[in-house]
Amino acid sequence: MQLKDYLTPHLIFFEEKPLSKEESIKLLCRRVADDQQLDAPSLFGEVMERENKMTTGMGSHIAVPHARIDSLDRFQTACLVSENGIDFDALDEKPVHIVVLLLSPKRMVKEHIALLSKISYFLTDKENFKKIMEASSIEEIQEMVRLY
């Protein structure tokens, strides 16, 4: 299981305007839904149901909102890089600058946990975080993920 197999360039976004936690999740759900012909409000509801149980703002300026969804047959991811930062109710109370949405097939529990772990490990590496924040193109981020 490699990150490069799950994060596609057309689902990586840079956002300059300030967003709320809900707006950022809704944006990523809408982009995945548009790309995969899924129902955006349903995806958003599933992710927010999980988010309301406990924040996915992990600290270190990253968040990985996620949900396991019955109707999916494969993993879906999207990434948002926020210059301004997002109040994500993070565990360390710091603004989040990188949000990776992970949507998983409900039946793939072990794979969901493994991919969630890989994403978290990759993003909490200070050098990776710095390079993503300094990236000027989606291709730069994709290349980092490819080499990981």
Q: What pLDDT is recorded for position 86? A: 95
Could you tell me the domains of the chain? 3-147 (3.40.930.10)
Handedness of CA 25, 30, 28, 119 (dihedral sign): positive
Q: pTM value?
A: 0.94
Q: What pLDDT is recorded for position 5? A: 84
Is residue 130 pLDDT above 80, yes or no?
yes
Kind plus residue range of the DSSP H or E element containing 26: helix 21-36
Range 113-123 average pLDDT: 93
**What's the rounded Cα separation, in Å, for the pair 12 and 139?**
9
Handedness of CA 66, 92, 16, 121 (dihedral sign): negative
pLDDT band at 145 (very low <50, low <70, confident <90, very high): confident
For the stretch 103-112, pLDDT in tens is 999 999 999 9
Q: What tokens does 104 get?
A: 């998983």
